[in-house]
Amino acid sequence: MNPPPRPTADHDDQVTAQALREQYESGSTVDQLVASSGLSYGTVLNRLHEARTVMRTSWQTRRMRDGQARRNLAARLRRLYEQQGATLAELAAAGSVTRRTARRLLIEAGGTPRTTQQTLRIHSAAGTAQRKKLALSLRTRYEAGATVPDLAEECSYSLATVYRLLHQAGTRMRPKHNHGPARTPRRRS
């Protein structure tokens, strides 16, 4: 019995690396891609690598293909995205998936992807709140008697940064000390 004829070069050209990547990222296994494309296992792997596909482990594929687990992962990623302001890259890392799959899972869970500007505003607001909290903490310690150089050393910030944060917190600054040699008092005549 002869093996089935190998697909022609025209057929090989039709199965692009990008098409294989899209099928793989939507949950197909390499074996399924081999069966559907008619290409060899090595050719499919080479084309996936050519398309810069992030390969899954077998347990990631099983988890992704399991319906309930996929819905749970999608819901978890949506919570991270909407409540904690995570980016798609952070979702991908949290879910051990690609950014594209993380986006797809977010949409499946009913989430709406943000624009880059919206994400930047969220992170900027979080950073502003954190800086304000730090500034108020520095103000409290400064008003309790700590010096600016001490605060800078404790926080690993420059003196200028500590001064800026203290001014942002509305701190009333103590008068500057004269660290030079003692002056002789002037005599009044």
Give the Cα separation of 81 and 154 in Å (integer): 34
pLDDT tens digits, 26-69: 777 888 888 888 999 999 999 999 998 888 887 777 766 677 77
Closest CA to 3 of 31, 47, 38, 52: 38
pLDDT at residue number 130: 83
Distance of CA 186 to the CA centre of its chain: 64
pLDDT at residue number 139: 92
pLDDT at residue number 6: 54
pLDDT at residue number 164: 92
* Beta-carbon contacts of residue 113 (< 8 Å; ≥ 6 apart): 88, 103, 106, 107
pTM, full prediction: 0.40
Higher pLDDT pick, 66 / 10: 66
pLDDT at residue number 10: 46
Average pLDDT score over the chain: 82
Higher pLDDT pick, 14 / 103: 103
Distance of CA 164 to the CA centre of its chain: 29
Share of the chain above pLDDT 70, in %: 84
